[in-house]
Amino acid sequence: MKGPQGTLYGRNATAGAISIISHGPTSDTTGYAELSYGNYNETKFEGAIGGGIAENLSGRLAVQSQFRDGYGQNIITGNDIDNQLSNSVRASLKWDPLASLSFLTIGEAHKENDRNGGLHFLGIDNPAIPISGLALGGVAPADSRDIAADRDPYAHVTTYALTEIITGTFDWATLKSYTSWRKSHATFSTNVTGTSLKSDLWNFNRERPPGKRGAAAVRHDRTAALAGGHAVLVRAHERLDRVSAHLLLFGGPDLLRQGYLAAGTQSDRSAAPYLRLTYDITDQASVILGARYTYEKKDLDQTSQFDLTRPYSASNPVLPLPGFPNTDSRSYTQVSPSATLDYKLTPDVFVYATFTEGFKSGGFNVGIPQAPYQPEKIKEYELGLNQRSCKAGCN
């Protein structure tokens, strides 16, 4: 869905939204398995099985595993780089204690452990500006798919998630509650010079974002209403940049020093009630009105370091730059309205006019001594002609 999606999908969806809904459990026994093989020894397996477990209880288990050799090589260590090794699993359990009440529990896990994300040397843009790594004795690969580094890059990612969806169906409305908890731990490493000169970048990110959303949908003859609320709490610890600096880059001896560090902890609290009303003026014409109120509060605790005095060691304590460590906090509020008028020329062809606003909150760049960046606000006007295409008929 293009354009701002403030009313329904809301949070920071200024450029559009993609909604992905995975298959859920059913009482019927279903399943599939797929195995594929390609060049670079790419091997991918995915499959799922599900069905009834007991009366009013069904489940589904889905797995995926991917392996691929690297597209290039680290010419210093001889190992493949830009390879892939990841595994994912999702388990779903659905319980229907009543005809009008349903509980869906979804657990997910994903793990990646490979040598992805290495910084590649793509040549010299300006011959008048020498590449420091080459000028100081480092080597660069001849093939841009390869890298030259004293150690291999890596990507280590582990993610867990748990979601509970409760649905209540009544004569006057359908009520849904979504509650989710997610934890991820990701570390990445690469050489920043593109050459074999020792100077490494570590990127560390961890987040734990529990969130909750509720919604209610009501339809009466010519009027349909959707109302809901969305709440999110995110806490992320970010070690964005850690670059060990080689004194050769500064005209000194062949020594590796602590270098640059930017790190911090951010928390983000967000709440957003929304309402969307659809009224059929006639059998052909409809008007849709919506609004979303967004509140976000962001807190920051950060530090930064630039140190050429101490030999590099990952266990060294941080010696912060002047002005660090520091804390900051910002709050943002916004009302995002939308309005649409559409007219059906035929059951499958309609024209429409839409006005909508989108909002994306401001925030911080961790470890950088600068003011927070400002919110993004968008107003969109759209006129269109649309034709539905249905292979098995439209509802």
Give 240-308 as a DSSP string: EEEEEEEGGGGT--S-EEEEEEEEEEEEEEEEEEEEEEEEESSSSEEEEEEEEEEEEEEEEEEEEEEEE
Contacts of 253 (CB under 8 A, 6+ apart): 247
Q: Between vectors from CA 28 to CA 25 and to CA 30, what angle results, nearest 5°?
A: 75
Phi, psi of 133 (to 5 degrees): -60, -40
Rounded CA-CA distance 338/355 in Å is 6
Grouping H, G, I as helix, E, B as strand and the rest as coil, residue 133 is helix
Q: Would you give the distance in Å from CA 188 to the centre of its chain?
A: 16
List, in sequence order, every beta strand (DSSP E) within the chain: 30-38, 42-54, 57-68, 72-73, 80-81, 84-98, 101-114, 154-169, 174-191, 200-207, 211-220, 223-246, 256-280, 285-311, 326-346, 349-360, 376-387
What confidence score (pLDDT) does residue 288 get? 93
Domain boundaries, the chain: 30-338
The DSSP secondary structure of 278-293, one letter per residue, reads EEESSSSEEEEEEEEE
CATH (one of 2.60.40.1080, 3.30.200.20, 2.40.170.20, 3.50.50.60) for 30-338: 2.40.170.20
What confidence score (pLDDT) does residue 287 get? 95
| Number of Cβ atoms within 10 Å of the Cβ of 356 | 20
What confidence score (pLDDT) does residue 199 get? 59
Q: Which residues pair with 81 in a beta bridge?
A: 72
What confidence score (pLDDT) does residue 246 get? 74
pTM summary value:
0.84
Question: pLDDT truncated to tens, each residue of the chain (395 aa)?
Answer: 888 887 777 677 888 888 888 899 999 999 999 999 999 999 999 999 999 999 999 999 999 999 999 999 999 999 999 999 999 999 999 999 999 999 999 999 999 999 998 889 888 878 777 777 787 778 889 999 999 988 899 999 999 999 999 999 998 888 989 889 888 888 888 877 777 876 545 444 444 445 556 666 666 566 778 888 878 877 776 666 667 777 877 778 878 888 888 888 888 999 889 899 999 999 899 999 999 999 999 999 999 999 989 998 878 899 999 989 999 999 999 999 999 999 999 988 989 999 999 999 999 988 888 889 999 999 999 999 988 765 444 44
What confidence score (pLDDT) does residue 395 get? 43
What confidence score (pLDDT) does residue 12 get? 79
What confidence score (pLDDT) does residue 215 get? 64
